[in-house]
Amino acid sequence: MELNLTAIALLAGTGFLAGGINTIAGGGSNLTLPMLMMLGLPADLANGTNRVAVLMQCVVGVAGYDKHNTLDRPAIAPVLVPTLLGGVLGALGAALMPNLYLKPVLLVTILSMSVLILLRPEVIAPPAGTPTQSPEDNPKAWWALFAAGIYGGFVQAGVGFILLAALAGGLRYDLVRANALKMTCALAFTVVALA
């Protein structure tokens, strides 16, 4: 991949936009990952390169949510267990898949997640005042977090919406607290995927 001024400007603009999208909701990698591949990076390197930016976004996002007391610290461990277990499986899958198959799988996955987000945004909006739950009390949410971990460990793009569906839709967190936990989960399995 040759980095000329145009490529640098495209990457910087896409990265800036994706960072804002990821911190607020998720799906920024639906922009950055295809951009990296369009600029000539092989799918496996694009997937790994994208995660470096995601890691930094997550560190900053988690620190910001924690600073404003919207990160539910007691919920971190119960939420991270299924997410990290899945993240290890997803990262192994991405690392072992040949590049020949990885690129079409990534592109189909990104397109599918984008369509799902457009068609079913209501999945992630609990009614106001709903009490929160723990993954131990809600097996469906535990498995949703596990699936989100697999997906996030594998591709990252669009995983924020899966996490929000599990955290807000399943565990009934309001969207601000769900986003704080989402960023924490994404930080954890991004570290696993980069390791």
What is the reported pLDDT for 159?
80
Sign (positive or negative) of CA dihedral 133, 75, 54, 59:
positive
**pTM (2 d.p.):** 0.79
Average pLDDT in the 56-75 region?
A: 91
pLDDT at 137 over 90: no
- Using a pLDDT cut of 90, give the percent of the chain over it: 17
Instruction: Tell me what the mean pLDDT of segment 17-35 comes to.
Output: 79
DSSP state letters, 91-114: HHHHHHS-HHHHHHHHHHHHHHHH
pLDDT, tens digit, 9 for 90 and up, residues 90-113: 888 877 877 677 667 766 766 776
pLDDT (average), residues 34-39: 86
Q: Using a pLDDT cut of 70, give the percent of the chain over it.
A: 87
For the chain, what is the mean pLDDT? 82
Flag whether pLDDT at 78 surpasses 90.
yes
pLDDT, mean of residues 156-184: 84
Neighbouring residues of 175: CB distance < 8 A, sequence distance ≥ 6? 124, 125, 164, 168
